[in-house]
């Protein structure tokens, strides 16, 4: 009897170890419409796409809801394996293997200002005279991100920045996710806003980030190929359309 119990205990440990070996840890954040959190339930095309790709390699994904700045640090040190919607930058290439892109999106950087202040920023150089709020860990565009002459103040998330904007703590903030920000503005009853005349025009790739320090880094090439094949075959577009969202374009 004792031997049977010991055997079952060892079997349980081996089974658990095997299960853990086939689990990718990934962080999720609220970025509607592609990533939505409602009553702690996570949904959206970006979640479905990576889950389907991982399933093709007999992996499952374990999700946690975590703010982006923390996720980025955890990705760097391999505490998580996957982070979706990770904008490609030179600095991040040191610790991120980029999965994709699954497509490209027109993602111009707008600058939030109070109504009537559209002319506050007519060209990039006008930013040098202003107090600018930025999201901690976020990438906007190379010139802006690397410009040490700008007076930039890091904040945690859209809700925090919205409250700061409401209280007049800064002049402007760059906006990559217009729809997500405007949800936060509405929740915080902020209506006195518009966007400056100046905007940075750009098209960006839609990537997932995979940590180079992930214990599953060995499957990167296979997982990347599955995602690229899904994009090429139209599967990615189908998943987006299922949610009534315009899919990223292919090049």
Tell which residue, 246, 229, 205, has the closest CA to residue 87.
Answer: 205
Cα 208 to Cα 157: distance, rounded to the nearest angstrom: 20
Looking at the DSSP bridge assignments, the partners of residue 154 are 134
- Indicate the domain borders of the chain: 22-103+205-242, 108-201
The average confidence (pLDDT) of the chain is 91
Q: Domain 108-201: state its class.
A: alpha beta
Q: Is residue 2 pLDDT above 60, yes or no?
A: no
Domains 22-103+205-242 and 108-201 share a fold: yes
pTM of the predicted structure, to 2 decimals: 0.81
Q: What average pLDDT does this structure show over 147-154?
A: 96
pLDDT of residue 130: 97
Q: Is residue 199 pLDDT above 80, yes or no?
A: yes
pLDDT of residue 20: 61
22-103+205-242: CATH homologous superfamily?
Periplasmic binding protein-like II (3.40.190.10)
Q: Which helix (H) or strand (E) covers residue 41, if one does? A: strand 41-43
Cα 84 to Cα 101: distance, rounded to the nearest angstrom: 11
pLDDT tens figures, 4-52:
444 444 444 443 444 468 999 999 998 888 999 998 899 999 999 999 9
Q: Which helix (H) or strand (E) covers residue 28, if one does? A: strand 23-28
pLDDT of residue 15: 39
Q: What average pLDDT does this structure show over 53-77?
A: 96
As a residue count, the chain comes to: 251
Count of other CB atoms within 10 angstroms of residue 18: 9
Return the higher-pLDDT residue of 2 and 56: 56
């Amino acid at each position: 009897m004792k031997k049977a119990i010991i055997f079952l205990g060892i079997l349980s440990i081996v089974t658990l170890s095997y299960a853990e070996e086939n689990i990718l840890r990934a962080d999720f954040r609220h970025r509607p419409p592609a990533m939505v959190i409602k009553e702690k339930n996570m949904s959206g095309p970006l979640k479905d796409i990576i889950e389907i790709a991982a399933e093709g390699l007999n992996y499952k994904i374990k999700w946690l809801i975590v703010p982006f700045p923390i996720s980025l640090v955890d990705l760097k040190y391999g505490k998580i394996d996957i982070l979706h919607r990770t904008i490609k930058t030179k600095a991040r290439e040191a610790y991120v293997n980029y999965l994709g892109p699954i497509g490209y999106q027109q993602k111009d950087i707008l600058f939030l200002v109070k109504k009537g202040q559209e002319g506050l920023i007519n060209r990039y150089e006008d930013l040098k005279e202003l107090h600018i709020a930025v999201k901690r860990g976020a990438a906007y565009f190379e010139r802006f991100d690397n410009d040490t002459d700008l007076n930039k103040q890091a904040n945690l998330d859209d809700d925090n920045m919205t409250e700061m904007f409401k209280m007049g703590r800064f002049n402007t903030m760059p906006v990559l996710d217009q729809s997500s920000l405007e949800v936060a503005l509405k929740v915080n009853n902020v209506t006195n806003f518009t966007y400056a005349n100046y905007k940075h025009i750009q098209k960006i790739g839609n990537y997932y980030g995979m940590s180079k320090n992930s214990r599953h880094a060995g499957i990167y090439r296979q997982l990347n190929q599955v995602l690229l094949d899904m994009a090429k075959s139209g599967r990615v577009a189908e998943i987006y359309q299922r949610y009534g969202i315009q899919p990223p374009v292919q090049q």
